[in-house]
C-alpha cells in the first residue's frame, strides 16, 4: 500500500519524538511491503518563525491532501518565548485548534493504559494500581468552550472576559455514536461525563447521549459528573472502559488519566472526522524545558503512529507489530527517564526509538 503522510514535527520535543515515530513507521513499511511518502509541514511556533502565523492556508491544504497527519507537539514556554507576545489568535496553540477545526476532526481518542511493567511508575497506591486499567477517553474536539465566541472588555472600568460554551445536538450525537461504536469493539461500556447539575450544555449532552444509546442496546451506558470523574480516575480507574466527554473536560481528564499511567510520555492520540482521515499526536505537550536533550519519551508518538496505521489505513497487523515492539522494549527493561525505575536500563530518546524499530 502507498501511504501519503503529512508530518508536523512542531516545537519543543516535537521534532525529536516524531523522528523516532518515523523510524518505527519506516521499519514497519519495509517489513510489510508498504511505501510511505512524507511531506513535512510547519505549524505552531515553527510556522510563526517562518511565516509570522502559526498555520498557513497552504499547510491546511497540504494536510488535507494527505491520507493522514502525524504530529509531534506545538508551543513553547509562555513566560519566556516571544511567540506569547503575539495576540492570542496568532500564538502556537491557535494553529492547532484551527487545524483540528479546518479538518473537521471532532473525535479525539486518547487511550490510557497502565502497562504491567510500569505499575511502579503509577503514582497511585498499590492496591489500586495492581488492578491495572485500560480506558479510552473520547473527547469532543471541535466544539464547546475552546471554539465559542470570546472577548475581553472593560465594563464600567472593570476588565471582564467572556468565553462561551456552545454545543448543538448534532455535534453531541456524532461523537456519541463514535464512542458507542468504539465501546462495541472493547468491553461494551460507555461512561458519559458532564456537569448536568449546573450547565445547560451538559443537560443537552446527557439527553442526546441517552437518545443515541437506544440504538446500541448491547452497550452499557452510565453518566458521571466531571468532578466525580476526576476523583474516580485516581480512586478506581479500572472501572472505566470508554469515557465520553466534551472538549474542555476531555482536555483536563485526559491529562489526569495519562499521569496515572505513570507518564504523559506514554499516551497516544487520534483525532478523527467521519472519513478515514486523521491526525495523530501524543497527548502530551511540547515540553520546551527538556527539548533537544535526547531525554524525551518517544513512546506516545510511536504509539500514535500505530493508531495512524490502524484507524486511517486499517493496517491492524502493522499497528499490532508496533505496539508489540513497544511492549517488548518495556519487558526487556528499557526506560526513558520519566518512567525509569530501579533495575531498569535508562536510555535516551533516539536509543528508545532504535530499540523499538529493531523489534518490529
Q: Which stretch binds ligand IPM (CB under 6 A): 29-37, 93-101, 233-241, 300-308?
A: 93-101
Q: Which stretch binds ligand IPM (CB under 6 A): 53-61, 92-100, 179-187, 303-311?
A: 92-100
C-alpha–C-alpha distance, residues 303 and 247, integer Å: 22
In whole angstroms, how close is the CB of 33 to Mg ion at the nearest point? 37
In the shown chain, the binding pattern of residues 120 to 139 toward Mg ion, with x for contact by CB under 5 A and - for none, equals: --------------------
- Return the active site residues: 146, 195, 227, 251, 255
Q: Which residue is nearest to ligand IPM (CB)?
A: 93
CA dist list (Å): 241 to 155, 180, 192, 268:
46, 11, 11, 16
Q: Which of 25, 48, 96, 193 binds ligand IPM (CB under 6 A)?
A: 96
Rule CB under 5 A: say whether 251 interacts with Mg ion.
Answer: yes
C-alpha–C-alpha distance, residues 172 and 121, integer Å: 35
Rule CB under 5 A: say whether 281 interacts with Mg ion.
Answer: no
Beta-bridge mates of residue 190: 221, 242
- Which listed option, ligand IPM, Mg ion, none, makes contact with residue 338 (CB within 5 to 8 Å by class)? none
125: DSSP letter: -
Helix ranges (DSSP H) in 67-142: 92-102, 126-129
In whole angstroms, how close is the CB of 354 to ligand IPM at the nearest point? 27
C-alpha–C-alpha distance, residues 119 and 122, integer Å: 5
- Which listed option, ligand IPM, Mg ion, none, makes contact with residue 93 (CB within 5 to 8 Å by class)? ligand IPM
Q: Which of 20, 67, 251, 318 binds ligand IPM (CB under 6 A)?
A: 251
**43/329 with CB nearer ligand IPM:** 43
Contacting residues for 143 by C-beta, under 8 A, at least 6 apart: 106, 166, 167, 168, 171, 246, 247
C-alpha–C-alpha distance, residues 245 and 229, integer Å: 11
Return residues touching ligand IPM (CB under 6 A): 75, 93, 96-97, 251
Amino acid at each position: 500500500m502507498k501511504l501519503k503522510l503529512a508530518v508536523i514535527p512542531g516545537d519543543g520535543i516535537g521534532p525529536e519524538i516524531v523522528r523516532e515515530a518515523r523510524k518505527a513507521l519506516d521499519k514497519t513499511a519495509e517489513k510489510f511491503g508498504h511505501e510511505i511518502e512524507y511531506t513535512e509541514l510547519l505549524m505552531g511556533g515553527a510556522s510563526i518563525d517562518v511565516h509570522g502565523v502559526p498555520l498557513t492556508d497552504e499547510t491546511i491544504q497540504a494536510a488535507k491532501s494527505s491520507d493522514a497527519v502525524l504530529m509531534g507537539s506545538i508551543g513553547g514556554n509562555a513566560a519566556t518565548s516571544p511567540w506569547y507576545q503575539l495576540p492570542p489568535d496568532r500564538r502556537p496553540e491557535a494553529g492547532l485548534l484551527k487545524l483540528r477545526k479546518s479538518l473537521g476532526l471532532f473525535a479525539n481518542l486518547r487511550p490510557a493504559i497502565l502497562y504491567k511493567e510500569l505499575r511502579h511508575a503509577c503514582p497511585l497506591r498499590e492496591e489500586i494500581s495492581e488492578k491495572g486499567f485500560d480506558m479510552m477517553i473520547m473527547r469532543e474536539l471541535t466544539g464547546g468552550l475552546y471554539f465559542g465566541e470570546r472577548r475581553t472588555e472593560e465594563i464600567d472600568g472593570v476588565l471582564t472576559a467572556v468565553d462561551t460554551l456552545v454545543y448543538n445536538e448534532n455535534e453531541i450525537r456524532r461523537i456519541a455514536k463514535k464512542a458507542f461504536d468504539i465501546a462495541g469493539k472493547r468491553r461494551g461500556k460507555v461512561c458519559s461525563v458532564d456537569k448536568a447539575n449546573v450547565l445547560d450544555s451538559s443537560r443537552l449532552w446527557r439527553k442526546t447521549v441517552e437518545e443515541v444509546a437506544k440504538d446500541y442496546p448491547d452497550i452499557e451506558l452510565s453518566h458521571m459528573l466531571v468532578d466525580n470523574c476526576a476523583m474516580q480516575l485516581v480512586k478506581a480507574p479500572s472501572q472505566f472502559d470508554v469515557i465520553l466527554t466534551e472538549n474542555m473536560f476531555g482536555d483536563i481528564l485526559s491529562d489526569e488519566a495519562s499521569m496515572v499511567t505513570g507518564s504523559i510520555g506514554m499516551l497516544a492520540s487520534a483525532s478523527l472526522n467521519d472519513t478515514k482521515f486523521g491526525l495523530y499526536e501524543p497527548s502530551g505537550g511540547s515540553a520546551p524545558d527538556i527539548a533537544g536533550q535526547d531525554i524525551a519519551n518517544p513512546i506516545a508518538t510511536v504509539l500514535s503512529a500505530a493508531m495512524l496505521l490502524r484507524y486511517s489505513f486499517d493496517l491492524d497487523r502493522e499497528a499490532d507489530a508496533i505496539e508489540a515492539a513497544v511492549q517488548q522494549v518495556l519487558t526487556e527493561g528499557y526506560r526513558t527517564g520519566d518512567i525509569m525505575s530501579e533495575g531498569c536500563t535508562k536510555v535516551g530518546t533516539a536509543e528508545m526509538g532504535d530499540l523499538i524499530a529493531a523489534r518490529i
